[in-house]
Amino acid sequence: MRSKSYLSNFLGFPTRVIVLILLFISILFPFYWLITNAFKVEQEYFASPPVVFPSKITFQNFIDAVKKYEMFKGLKNSLLIATGTTVLTLISGSMAAYALINGALPRKLKRVFGGWFLVQKMYPAVVVAVPVFYIIRTLGLLDNVLSLIIMNTSFNLPLVIILMIGFYQEVPYEVEEQSMLDGCNLFQRYFYITTPMVKPGLVATGMLTFVYSWNEFLYAVILTVNKAKPLTVTIAGFITDKGLIWGPMAAMGCAVVFPVLIIMWLMQRDFISGISAGALKG
C-alpha cells in the first residue's frame, strides 16, 4: 500500500501534466520543424544556432519541388499505389477471411491456411527482393504502378486476412443460420449480411493498409526508375553527393505526411471503432 501511495503521490497531477506536455512537444515538434523548413530561405538551413522561427517566408521550395522534382507526379503515383493496393487487398482479403470462417473447408485445413498467413508476416520483405525483381522484369512491369500494387497487395494480404478473421468471428453464427434459411448463398451472405456488420473493422484494416502502402520504400526503389516513382522514392533523391537539398525536401515531406494525416483525421471514428472492436475480442 505504501509503494502504491508513494507512486500515486509521485505521479500526481503536476507530474502528469508535465509528462503530457513533454509528450505533446515530442510529437508535434518534428511536424513544426518540417513545416518551417519548407518555408525557410536557404541561408537559414545552415545558420548557427538553428533558426526556430523563420525570419522570412518563401514558397520557392514548393515551386522547386513541383517544377524541378515532379512532386505532383510522385503524389499521383503514391495515391494510385496506395488506393489500388487498399481496394484490391480489402476485397480479396475479406473474401478469404470470410471463407476461412464460414466456408466448407475442413477445420484442419483452415488452421493450415491461418498458420501460413501468419508465417508470411514473419520474414522480412528484403528476403525475396531478388526473385521479385526477376519476376517483375520478366513480366515487363518494371517502372509500372501495377507492379507496386501487386507487390504491396501480396505483402499486406496476410495481415488483412488475419485482422478480418477476428472481425468476422465477432458476428454471431445465428445471423449466418438465419440468412441460410432465407435462401442466401455464400456470396450473398458475405456481401449483403456479414460484411456490412463488420464495416468499422473493414475501415480500420483499410486505413492500415493504405498507410503501409503509402510509406512503402523497399520495392518502390527496386522496381521503379522514373515514370512510376512514388513520393517515398522521389524524396530520397534529395540526398546527393553534395549534401541534402533541404528546402524542396521539406516541401515534399509535407506532401508525404499531411495527406495521410488528413485521411486519418477524417475517418478517425471508424478507425477507433474498428480497433476497439478488435481489442475487445482480445
C-alpha closest to that of 255 among 231, 233, 237? 231
Whichever domain contains 197, its CATH number is: 1.10.3720.10
pLDDT in tens, 179-219: 888 888 888 888 888 988 898 889 989 999 999 999 999 99
C-alpha closest to that of 160 among 198, 133, 124? 198
pTM of the shown model: 0.85
38 and 107 belong to one structural domain: no
What integer pLDDT is reported at residue 10 of this predicted model?
56
The dihedral over CA atoms of 175, 274, 78, 42, expressed in degrees to the nearest 10, equals 170
What integer pLDDT is reported at residue 280 of this predicted model?
47
Is residue 12 very low, low, confident or very high in pLDDT (cuts 50, 70, 90)?
low
pLDDT in tens, 69-111: 999 999 999 999 999 999 999 999 999 999 888 877 777 887 8
Tell me the CA distances in angstroms from 170 to 98, 136, 140, 173, one per residue in order: 12, 39, 43, 9
Cβ(36)–Cβ(54) below 8 Å:
yes
127 and 204 belong to one structural domain: yes
Please determine, for residue 279, whether its predicted confidence score (pLDDT) is greater than 80: no
What integer pLDDT is reported at residue 140 of this predicted model?
94
Is residue 278 very low, low, confident or very high in pLDDT (cuts 50, 70, 90)?
low
Instruction: State which of 58, 76, 98 marks the end of a domain.
Output: 58
212 and 231 belong to one structural domain: yes
What integer pLDDT is reported at residue 282 of this predicted model?
44
Residue 241, C-alpha cell as written in the block: 553527393
Q: Which residue has the cell 525570419?
A: 55
131 and 205 belong to one structural domain: yes
Residue 59, C-alpha cell as written in the block: 514558397
Mean pLDDT of 117-134: 86
158 and 213 belong to one structural domain: yes
191 and 84 belong to one structural domain: yes
29 and 72 belong to one structural domain: no
What integer pLDDT is reported at residue 222 of this predicted model?
94
Dist CA 94 CA 36 (whole Å): 42
Instruction: State which of 18, 39, 58 marks the end of a domain.
Output: 58
What integer pLDDT is reported at residue 9 of this predicted model?
58
Mean pLDDT of 9-37: 83
Residue 146 CA to its chain's centroid (Å): 18
93 and 175 belong to one structural domain: yes
C-alpha closest to that of 249 among 42, 10, 103? 42
Instruction: State which of 22, 40, 58 marks the end of a domain.
Output: 58
147 and 119 belong to one structural domain: yes
43 and 166 belong to one structural domain: no
51 and 163 belong to one structural domain: no
48 and 67 belong to one structural domain: no
Please determine, for residue 7, whether its predicted confidence score (pLDDT) is greater than 60: no
Is residue 6 very low, low, confident or very high in pLDDT (cuts 50, 70, 90)?
low
Number of domains in the chain: 2
**Domain that residue 217 falls in:** 63-281
